[in-house]
């Protein structure tokens, strides 16, 4: 199939010259609109601050990976800060994905314009990823610790005949107190009235 001439329809018939002119004008208009959309997108990307995007990403990470703020709502988990703002985990992940896509678009634009600035953005992204991994590791550790049964943890035992564990200072028995015992421990006759 080859390209169809502008002056023909899909069935191969020739078009009215007025319709042909409208079709060509529409084609030019779409091309111009595409150029305008690309310029608008570029200007919007230039207006966004990459460090601000990373700050927003960290806020979403705090909401997603904060073990103390998680609650189960209606069978799905919702997370948020203590100020009452709660977002579903799915929504947080979607917003995070969109912010990362925006950051990548900014990065590719900056790489075309100034490669030295792009290196700084790549380094900032790597630092962010490291902080996120640390936060995720802490979150997983806390979740694992919550599921541990403390009675299943084996305690060290002393060898037979030993009174203290080797390598630890000796435990001395408590010395008798020189303070007067409390009135509740004395009989009613020996407790002085104040």
pLDDT tens digits along 156-174: 777 776 666 666 666 666 6
The secondary element (H helix, E strand) that includes residue 45 is helix 17-47
Q: Is the pLDDT of residue 194 over 70?
A: no
CA of residue 93 relative to chain centroid, distance: 8
Tell me the two tokens of residue 19. Answer: 């319709």
The C-alpha atoms of residue 186 and residue 191 are separated, in whole angstroms, by: 6
Pairing type for strands 71-73 and 86-88 reads unpaired
pLDDT of residue 53: 92
Q: Is the pLDDT of residue 129 over 80?
A: yes
Sign for the CA dihedral angle at 14, 18, 21, 22 comes to negative
Query: What residue spans of 70-190 are helical by DSSP H?
Result: 89-113, 115-146
Question: Could you give phi then psi for residue 152, rounded to 5 degrees?
Answer: -90, -5
pLDDT of residue 190: 56
pLDDT of residue 76: 44
Average pLDDT on 129-133 reads 95
CB 103 within 8 A of CB 50: yes
The C-alpha atoms of residue 101 and residue 43 are separated, in whole angstroms, by: 16
Name the one residue in this structure whose structure tokens are 């936060």. Answer: 135
The C-alpha atoms of residue 192 and residue 179 are separated, in whole angstroms, by: 15
Confidence (pTM) = 0.56
Average pLDDT on 98-122 reads 91
């Amino acid at each position: 199939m080859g390209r169809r001439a502008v002056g023909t329809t899909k069935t191969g018939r020739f078009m009215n010259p007025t319709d042909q002119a409208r079709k060509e004008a529409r084609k030019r208009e779409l091309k111009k609109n595409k150029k305008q959309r690309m310029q608008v997108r570029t200007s919007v990307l230039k207006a966004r601050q990459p460090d601000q995007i990373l700050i927003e990403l960290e806020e979403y990470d705090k909401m997603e990976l904060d073990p103390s703020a998680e609650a189960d709502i209606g069978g799905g988990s919702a997370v948020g800060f203590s100020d009452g703002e709660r977002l579903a985990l799915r929504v947080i992940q979607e917003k995070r994905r969109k912010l990362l896509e925006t950051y990548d678009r900014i990065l590719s634009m900056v790489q075309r314009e100034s490669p030295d600035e792009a290196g700084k953005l790549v380094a900032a992204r790597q630092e962010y990823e490291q902080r996120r991994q640390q936060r995720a590791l802490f979150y997983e550790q806390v979740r694992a610790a919550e599921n541990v049964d403390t009675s299943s943890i084996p305690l060290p035992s002393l060898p037979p005949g030993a009174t203290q564990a080797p390598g630890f200072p000796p435990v001395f028995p408590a010395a008798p107190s020189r303070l007067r015992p409390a009135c509740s421990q004395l009989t009613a006759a020996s407790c002085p009235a104040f």
